[in-house]
A and B are shown apart, each in its own frame.
Chain A
Amino acid sequence: MFETFDTLEQTWIGQTIRESLWLFPGIEAVHLLGLAILGGSVLVVDLRLLGAGLTRATVPAVLASARPWFLGSLALMFATGIPLFLSEAIKCYYNTSFWVKMGALAIGIVFTFGVRNRVAMRRDAPRWATALVGAISLMVWFTVAAAGRWIGFS
């Protein structure tokens, strides 16, 4: 495992970012812009699942409108997050927050596409089930964001 991270640390992308004064902060700033849109597109659906927010629209309608922004911002997060990771792969290897974030991210993606969006599309889902799914989604994505911020502190 460590060898893989060591190899990733040596890629030209990582090296270019490390040698530049502006690249890391610049990519980081775009990563944060993605966070705002990702957070908004997750929140608006989860709040609706919990019975708050856009209650006059149906859950499938809210999901359908938020979905492209969720997918787009998630793609932006990967496009900026991977270069950031490549620039400090070995630091990440020893960083607990990084592993917590990756674990939560994997759970978040599987849960969102495998459970949450499917429940949201069903009109016959009971209230307790939609609320539970919304609450879990909020917690998982919050963990991804919080652990992500903490990579920089440890």
Chain B
Amino acid sequence: MRSFAEWLDTHAWSTALHESLWMYPLIESTHVLTVMLFVGMLAMVDLRLVGLAFRNVAVSHLTGRLLPWSVAGFVIMIATGVLLFYAIPVRTYESVWFRVKVVLLIAGGINAWWFHRRVQRDRTFWDTSPKPPIAVRVVGGVSLAIWAGVIVCGRMIAYNWFDCDRDPSPFVAWMAGCVVEASM
């Protein structure tokens, strides 16, 4: 994995993107602003699952009409996120925040899968219920917490407190996969 990141780092386009005056900030801004579409729409659905918003609208109507917008946002997030990683591969790969963010992304995916595969099975019984059953509310709450964590970690990648070149504690160094340079 690290050698893959190092290989990306050798690309001329990676360096060009990182050092570009306009492209990097534009891609970064698109990534940040799309949070309104992706997490914003998802949060409205989650708040409905928890029973805190749109209580008089059927859950299936929210998932059917708002999730496509959220998925569109997610596609933009992945596309811009991959480009941002491509621009700064090694440092990002060794970022504790990035690693926690990836774990949370996977957790968010599993939670969404769980909702669509299992929790939604008996939806006809609670679709119009202002306050869905506990299993549904838990999925919505977990989703809100996970995506909040993803946003916070994403923001923190930009800061360098835990970077490998700043002598982090052994635990952080292990988490970040810092390579100990052998002294010659």
Contact = CB atoms under 8 A, between A and B. Distances in A.
B118 interface: no
Interface residues of B, number: 34
Contact of A44 (B39, B44, B148): B44
A142 interface: yes
Contact of B159 (A25, A68, A150): A25
B61 A40 contact: no
Interface string A124-154: 0000000000000000001001100110010
A96 interface: no
A153 B58 CA distance: 42
A66 interface: yes
Contact of B53 (A43, A69, A146): A69
A145 B34 CA distance: 10
A57 B56 contact: yes
B31 to A, nearest CB: 10
Contacts of B104: none
B119 to A, nearest CB: 21
Interface stretch (A47-55, A80-88, A109-117): A47-55
Interface stretch (A1-9, A10-18, A30-38, A99-107): A30-38
B175 interface: no
A146 B156 contact: no
Interface of B: 25, 28-29, 32-33, 35-37, 39-44, 47, 53-58, 61-62, 65-66, 69, 147-148, 151-152, 155-156, 159, 161
Interface of A: 21, 25, 28-29, 32-33, 35-44, 47, 52-57, 61-62, 65-66, 68-69, 142, 145-146, 149-150, 153
Given A39-B40, A53-B65, 4 more contacts: A25-B156, A29-B152, A40-B36, A65-B54
